[in-house]
Amino acid sequence: MVNLDFIQDNSLKEKLKQTIEKIEIADKSNRSIDTDFLDPYERSIIRPIIGHNLEYYEDGGYDEAERKIIQIYPPYIERTEKLSIIKIISKNKISHREILGSVLGLGLVREKIGDIVSNGDFEHYLIVKNELANYIHSNLEKVGNYKINISFSDKVVCSEKKFVSREFVVKSKRLDLFISKAFAIRRDLAKSYIENGFCKVNFAPIKSASSLINEGDLVSLRGYGRVFYAEDLGMSKKDNYFIRAKFPV
């Protein structure tokens, strides 16, 4: 078994252990398997584990997908399509969080659900595994308090991602300082969130408030959202850092 002791998050460690067990089954039984949806950090851990005698293919339902499954199979087995795209139309504005909450409310778990993609405020796409597609299609009648129209689609249509930029000054590139400034919260609160596992940097769970971050990093904080460390703008006379951050909208 691959050593995963470097992972501090127990739920993530268990998820990856189960994924590795699937890979070992594929290797020993010479049959095809597919993982649950994995984020970029999780996939970076899994890729090197896949044996050289196996093929693999990452699929998220569309080219820019963030969450993807990995199909793993012997080279003599033909790969098959494993994902379905569900299109959701609403007459009311509904959010990513509301859609996800309604889908999970059907008794599903997050690992079985891929990206949720918006094309404006009223058209959304949900990527799911084939075995769940008909169940969701038959049972998802509302998102929040709003009725929806639901159908299958052969492609994802997404609007251009928009961001709001903001500039601020920090004394150092410590994670707790960056989060405090970016989300306008007290530093001690930022530190507490990090140490309690609420923070990720580039999808990797980080529990050290003193971790240093760099230009290009994506920081997420549970309950607050995401922020990109977009650009270093230079240093002040007091050796503070001028930073530009970008927030998805």
Quick: pLDDT tens for 30-59: 889 999 999 999 999 999 988 888 999 999
CA-CA distance, 247 to 225, in Å (whole number)? 8
Under 8 Å between Cβ of 99 and 110: no
The gap from C-alpha 52 to its chain's centroid, in whole angstroms, comes to: 27
Q: Does a structural domain hold residue 124?
A: yes
Structure tokens at 206: 């980080």
Quick: pLDDT tens for 115-146: 999 998 899 999 999 999 999 999 999 999 99
Question: What is the domain extent for residue 172?
Answer: 163-248
Q: Which of 46, 73, 100 is the last residue of a domain?
A: 73
The CATH number given to whatever domain includes residue 93 is: 3.30.70.330
Q: Does a structural domain hold residue 89?
A: yes
Q: Does a structural domain hold residue 1?
A: no
Residue 70: other Cβ atoms inside 10 A: 22
Quick: pLDDT tens for 201-231: 999 999 999 999 999 999 999 999 999 999 9
3: Cβ contacts below 8 Å, ≥ 6 apart: none
Write down the mean pLDDT value for the chain. 94
**Given 3-state DSSP classes, what are the helix, strand and coil percentages for the chain, each rounded to the nearest 5?**
30, 35, 40
Amino acid at 142: K
The model carries a pTM of: 0.89
Query: Which residues pair with residue 221 across a beta bridge?
Result: 199, 225
User: Cα separations (Å) of 191 from 8, 87, 177, 188?
Assistant: 17, 40, 9, 5
The CATH number given to whatever domain includes residue 48 is: 3.30.1370.160
Q: Which of 19, 46, 73 is the last residue of a domain?
A: 73
Q: Does a structural domain hold residue 158?
A: no
For 67, list phi and psi in degrees, rounded to 5: -95, 130
Quick: pLDDT tens for 80-104: 999 999 999 999 999 999 999 999 9
Q: Does a structural domain hold residue 231?
A: yes
Amino acid at 158: C
In this structure, are 168 and 226 located in the same domain? yes
Question: Could you give the dihedral angle defined by the CA atoms of residues 9, 66, 78 and 137, in that order, rounded to the nearest 10 degrees?
Answer: 100
In this structure, are 120 and 94 located in the same domain? yes
Q: Which of 100, 129, 153 is the last residue of a domain?
A: 153
Q: Does a structural domain hold residue 44?
A: yes
The CATH number given to whatever domain includes residue 168 is: 3.10.290.10
For the chain, the domain total comes to 3
Q: Does a structural domain hold residue 47?
A: yes
Q: Does a structural domain hold residue 2?
A: no
